Structure 1
Amino acid sequence: MDILKAQLELMPEWKDMLQQRYQILYTIALSKGIGRRTLAETLQLSEREVRKEFDLLRAQGLILVSREGAEVTPPGQQLLVELKSLVDEWSGRHEKETTLKRLLGIEEVHIVAGNSDDSEQAQLLLADEAAKWIFANLKPRMITAVTGGTTIAKIADHLPQSSKIEQLQFVAARGGIGKDVQLQANTIAALFAEKLNGSYKTLYIPDRLSESAYEAMTQEPFVQEMMALYEQMSILVHGIGDATEMARRRSSSSEELKLLKEQQAVSEAFGYYFNARGEVVHRIRTIGVQLEQLEQTPHIVAVAGGAQKAHALDSYFQQAPKQTVLITDEGAADQLIKVHTLQEEF
């Protein structure tokens, strides 16, 4: 029995205490300048508990507290890095990652704490984990394509301001969906480029087109240039949507919504709608990354969380490329494992 196991045998409550303290420190690191009250609300702790932890972490030199709130010091940041594997193992997330990797048949799975459906903290953790993976895997002259959406937009906030990786290029993986410009692929590609001192290419055309408009657009030089870039992309970062929700965001007609219901569409990605078996049951005419281009892309990063997304994730991963990296949260992961367990039983 090693010394750590011996300590836990004697003081089993120490594990819960360490995980809570780690979560507090991590939340401060994600939300620079956070105050005690906001931190207490975010982690659903009492202000008294948070005040006690603040005092302890400050005394250890792990955080600095000012009028603007708390920030993690460099020693605190280093401690977070060193403790991550241990905390993930104790929480059971490491075991769940291994299980999901096997069940989905993909390259990597990363699971963060919480459930994005009802936790802003989980959404921050999801974006931060994705940003860390992307930054760690970027190499000079790489082309990275990004889709739009709330989850992908948050990733840009967590990327470090860096110029150490040369000649990076970021491209919008699709045209615009909805009216919120901040959540569109064009804006997100530009934000990634700004953070990492790269260049970017945008695709300022509607996400969906009529047949005649589609045929005309494919002949345009700038569209052909974008399609050539998709063929060369090394990393593709995308979300996975619920089929009905995505159709409504696109202001789909009542006929199209009826069709998706009849075809039992469950998930959506890249303008393709999939049923529970991962079969394409509908697609829209869109200029952007096409499904067949995924097979030749070295790294595909799918970022999605929340228990309510589990069926959409299960649908999409029926056919997802093996080189996919899934970054999700415990809410979605627990539900996905439950779904697969039930499928195996039957």
Structure 2
Amino acid sequence: MREILNIQKQLLPDLLDIMKKRYSILRHIQVTGVVGRRTLASSLNMTERILRAEVEYLKEQGLLEIETSGMKISESGRKLLEDMEPLVKEAFGLTDLEEQIRSFFGVSQVVIVPGDSDTSAFTRKELGRAGAAVLRKYAANEDVIAVTGGSTMAEVANHLTTSASMKKNLFLPARGGLGESVELQANTIASTMAKKTGGKYRLLHVPDHMGEEAYQSLIQDPQIKEIVDTVRKSRIVVHGIGDAMVMARRRKASAEATQNLQEVGALAEAFGYYFDRQGNVVHRMPTVGLRLEDLQQAEVVIGVGGGKSKGEAIASVLLYGQEDVLVTDEAAAHEIIKRSHHDVSIRPS
């Protein structure tokens, strides 16, 4: 495949540009669902005149359907996108990025989508779509799946659909989440995933973080203890990755706590644990739910996170060494690669 692409680049460079453009149009429509031409042109930074010509061509090929409410992708279009994905990744240079990150950090699989989640709403949706696809790939009937909260995980939930392999799965919040925006809480995301796939869910009605005394009291409650014990035996864990300072502010950490995190070099956050540049745990929030040591028992740990601003944070969590799969975007991937080149001394063993 790579040899063919290299030949095309030399003899027919315009062909690759056209392919990328038409692929981007189809992918935007697939992820958006139904979209008008003007909205799509704005999202793609393309004039309506150029887009109109491309849409007409794609419609003639049976890849798009035009309705009064807007354009949507046809079943043939979906199949074509699926078949094209390896080729497009090679053309965009994402295959090399995936392999560099996979080999450096020793993870089983890396999936990279084009773009930057920090600046593109479409890339954020695409990240969610890719995360949902990875979860479907690894899920089997009667799995217990623990999920965290956050905007990226909400996108993953939104892109799940009914699946024969997921109908009997149990979705659980990986940790307490009361105190965050309702739509971003792990409870909400677990229930959304269950409803989208036809699975089941249970909720964990406890605060996201609390004092040690309250934590010890809650963990003794029989109902909470039973759910937490089930969470800690999850076969699959799907989680987001956050920037330490951003997450501290979102969780309304005190000025003193935020300063302490800065002093210990906290760079990333996952599950209420904070990691420094070398992937060491430097702080833990008292929270009911999944612990880092439970990840060692899980068969598949899937980290989902993107955006240039999160690249270093994602690298820090990968260095901790419990991820099996990483789903990220192009901008974050380039930052992760920079870390791996600059910090050769911290290469995982």
TM over 0.5: yes
Residue segments in structure 2 that go unaligned for 5+ positions in a row: none
Residue matched to 2:340: 340
Residue matched to 1:191: 192
Give the 3-state SS of the residue equivalent to 1:33 in structure 2: coil
Q: Distance in 2 between matches of 1:203 and 1:338?
A: 39
CA 1:102 to 1:156, structure 2 compared with 1: closer, same or farther past 3 Å?
Answer: same
Q: Distance in 1 between matches of 2:210 and 2:168?
A: 33
Amino acid paired to 2:157: A
Residue by residue, what CA displacement relative to the aligned partner does 1:206-259 show, whole Å, maximum 9, x if unpaired?
011112111111111122212221232111110111111111111111110111
CA RMSD of aligned residues (A): 1.8
Residue by residue, what CA displacement relative to the aligned partner does 1:29-83 show, whole Å, maximum 9, x if unpaired?
1111111111111121121221111111111111011111111111111111111
Q: Distance in 1 between matches of 2:117 and 2:166?
A: 31
Identity %: 39
Amino acid paired to 2:301: I
Residue segments in structure 1 that go unaligned for 5+ positions in a row: none
Amino acid paired to 2:139: L
Write the mapping of 1:1-346 to structure 2, written as runs, cut at 5 A.
8-163=9-164, 165-176=166-177, 178-321=179-322, 323-344=323-344
Amino acid paired to 2:199: G
Amino acid paired to 1:254: A
CA 1:317 to 1:179, structure 2 compared with 1: closer, same or farther past 3 Å?
Answer: closer
CA 1:34 to 1:281, structure 2 compared with 1: closer, same or farther past 3 Å?
Answer: same
Number of corresponding residues: 345
Q: Distance in 2 between matches of 1:4 and 1:217?
A: 58
Structure 1 residue 165, shift from structure 2 partner: 3.7
**TM-score for the superposition, normalised by structure 1:** 0.95
Kept in 2, the 8 Å contact 1:178–1:249? The answer is no
Q: Distance in 1 between matches of 2:117 and 2:200?
A: 31
Kept in 1, the 8 Å contact 2:147–2:171? The answer is yes
Kept in 2, the 8 Å contact 1:101–1:108? The answer is yes
CA 1:329 to 1:4, structure 2 compared with 1: closer, same or farther past 3 Å?
Answer: closer
Amino acid paired to 2:277: A
Amino acid paired to 1:112: V
Kept in 2, the 8 Å contact 1:230–1:293? The answer is no
Give the 3-state SS of the residue equivalent to 1:317 in structure 2: helix
Structure 1 residue 313, shift from structure 2 partner: 1.1
CA 1:221 to 1:278, structure 2 compared with 1: closer, same or farther past 3 Å?
Answer: same
Q: Distance in 1 between matches of 2:199 and 2:193?
A: 8
Residue by residue, what CA displacement relative to the aligned partner does 1:112-136 show, whole Å, maximum 9, x if unpaired?
0000110111111100001111112
Residue by residue, what CA displacement relative to the aligned partner does 1:281-331 show, whole Å, maximum 9, x if unpaired?
11111001001000111111100001110111122111131x520000000
Give the 3-state SS of the residue equivalent to 1:75 in structure 2: helix
Amino acid paired to 2:317: Y
Q: Distance in 2 between matches of 1:174 and 1:263?
A: 24
Amino acid paired to 2:316: S
**TM-score for the superposition, normalised by structure 2:** 0.95
CA 1:5 to 1:245, structure 2 compared with 1: closer, same or farther past 3 Å?
Answer: closer
